Amino acid sequence: MCGIIGYLGPRTAMPILLEGLKAQEYRGYDSAGIAVLEQGQICLTRSKGKIADLEKKIGATLSAATMGIGHTRWATHGKPDDNNAHPQIDCGGGLAVVHNGVIENYQELRDDLSRRGHTFTSQTDTEVLPHLIEEFRGQGCDLLQAVTKMTETVEGYYAMAVLSAQDDNRLICARLDNPLIIGLGEGEYFLACDMSALVEHTHRMIILKNDDIADITLEGIKIYNHGQLVEREISVIDWDKASAQKGGYEHFMLKEIHEQPHALKRTLQGRISADGTRIIFKEFDQAIDEKLAAIKNIHLVACGTAYHAGLIGRHAMEKILRLPTVAEVASEFQTRDVIIDETSLAVIISQSGETYDTILAMRKCQEAGAFTLAICNVLDSTLAREADAVLYTHAGPEIAVASTKAYTTQLAVLYMLTLHMARLRGRLDQAEAAALIADLARTPELAQTVISELEAQIFRLALDFGPWQDAFFIGRGLDASVAMEGALKLKEISYIHAEAYAAGELKHGTIALIVPDVPVLALCTQSKIIPKMISNIQELHARKAHIIGVTYQDCTDVIRACKETLLIPRINELLAPILANLPLQLLAYYAAVVKETDVDQPRNLAKSVTVG
């Protein structure tokens, strides 16, 4: 999410900064900006839109400055416009900061700084950073001390770079939970959050660690961690420019699969109370909470992968809230005489917030008087603007057409929404809520475990998919919904014909398609129905199907029943879809690689469907 670039050296900075930003365009952005230090003054240029719009503002006469910072912004706080673009500056215009991440206590800090006389000109959380540095410098701190105190004051996660008019030939940068990399040239230094912006200039890099603060001058680099001077290894990166944009991964889809643990962490961050007993949505005011407490029925409306997330949400809401809940395909929703009114909650789910059918379905709900709540990933999208309320997934830009981290973070938001409404409606006691929230908080760590432990096994398994033309996915309850998403992933990128069925429906026609060695993925994460699933598996074994089970590491009955298994850690079974889906994503990816299809841009598909 977003892109950072910095340069300090003997060359003219502006072309290097612009090219560095262009190298990071794939990350997704809606505005861009550059600040350079020339003759003791910070020269700032920012623009909504693309880098080409920024270049038009800069014009033909480029600055001769030899140091500067730049940024491409993917909006999270404040709409995309010139004022909200980075770099952000302090009151006097002597400090400029670019920042990736979220400052969770920015409102508290902004209020305090305003009382101290600071004037803010943007809606961003980032703007508190230069003002904090300015405040600490006013108290006698030098630049490094001020940045250090600022990082100790803010809460959240960040990668940032600081430019000061009082400190020629000096850049300071800091990192916590967002990547930041220093490139080492001959008498020059580069800074970026992505190697794609650096490999054109150098292959020698220092990858900063959490809580590192780097003080970069022409004399060298000093890195501090919690006030202690530390040494960081210099890595030699043997990548070309194109591969660096994918972080060393062969495809964006694989990169995004691996990003899911961190994406989940971003989605959850700041939304769980300190005592772990409740969900906090700062996006909701008292009026919204009162509306949610009075709702009598729920419609989850979406398309494609988002619809499959809605199916999982339906199970959770029915189980915990005990409200009539349906999941709807948006394109079909429009054509039906749906029973929906002012007592209804319509949860509208879309990664882009621009899906045409989903927007039309939302408007239909609003015409009927329903309260509309959007779950989406893109700030200031049509869905976000038009819905009565919005919850962002904070998954970050998703480049591959096949959705992975957007789906996983949609699940997380749906679970949190369910838990929040349960508290409002008195449906869970504190102990029950705390247990569910504790397991939800573990999902980033457990997701990392699943990916790390299963990837090699799944690659070997995918090698067998080369000659296969068909595959089936089965499950019951929540697992049936996970099976639908697994089948969609496999078919859309590997072009293997894949179908998902509720396992209890096999004997009602589907079993006629089972032939020797056809792969069947059997999802088995719901304890109460595992005996029935094992019975279905035995029926398929009798017809010589190749059964691949997805179940828990200690579920010995399923392990014995299947030819092979993909094992996930134990978790509250209501949350199991977050983990059970991950091996299916990896299987689809590696099957597509084996078949040599276009993984990131499969035929006939687009990332966002903006026509009906």
Could you tell me if 253 and 493 are in contact, meaning their C-beta atoms sit under 8 angstroms apart? Answer: yes
- Say which of 2, 303, 365, 555 is annotated catalytic: 2
Could you tell me if 3 and 31 are in contact, meaning their C-beta atoms sit under 8 angstroms apart? Answer: no
Q: From CA 163, how far away is CA 122, in angstroms rounded? A: 19
Check if 607 is active-site.
yes
Spatial CA neighbour of 162 closest among 268, 4, 10 = 4
Q: From CA 597, how far away is CA 599, in angstroms rounded? A: 6
Q: From CA 524, how far away is CA 477, in angstroms rounded? A: 10
Q: From CA 199, how far away is CA 197, in angstroms rounded? A: 6
Q: From CA 99, how far away is CA 73, in angstroms rounded? A: 9
Q: From CA 364, how far away is CA 361, in angstroms rounded? A: 5
Check if 50 is active-site.
no
Q: From CA 134, how far away is CA 555, in angstroms rounded? A: 58
- Tokens 């499950």 sit at which residue? 475
Residues 6+ apart with CB under 8 A from 81: 31, 48
Burial annotation 476-492 (CB, 10 A radius, 16+ → b, else e): bbbbbbbbbbbbbbbbb
CB neighbour class for 85 (10 Å; exposed up to 12, middle 13-18, buried from 19): buried
- CA pseudo-torsion sign 367, 369, 375, 380: positive
Per-position DSSP letters for 390-439, written without gaps between them: EEE-------SSS-SHHHHHHHHHHHHHHHHHHHHHT-S-HHHHHHHHHH
Q: Which residues partner with 204 through β-bridges?
A: 236
E strand or H helix that includes residue 605:
none
Spatial CA neighbour of 315 closest among 340, 298, 334, 291 = 298
Per-position DSSP letters for 238-293, written without gaps between them: ---HHHHHTTT-SSHHHHHHHTHHHHHHHHHTT-B-TTSSSB--TT--HHHHHHHH
Spatial CA neighbour of 161 closest among 38, 37, 47, 247 = 37
- Say which of 149, 291, 532, 607 is annotated catalytic: 607
- Tokens 């998403």 sit at which residue? 485
For 170, the token pair is: 């000096």
Q: From CA 138, how far away is CA 538, in angstroms rounded? A: 74
Cis peptide before 583 (omega within 30 of 0): no
Q: Which residues partner with 288 through β-bridges?
A: none
Spatial CA neighbour of 447 closest among 571, 574, 304, 311 = 571
Could you tell me if 184 and 203 are in contact, meaning their C-beta atoms sit under 8 angstroms apart? Answer: no
In three-state secondary structure terms, 51 is: helix
Active site residues: 2, 607
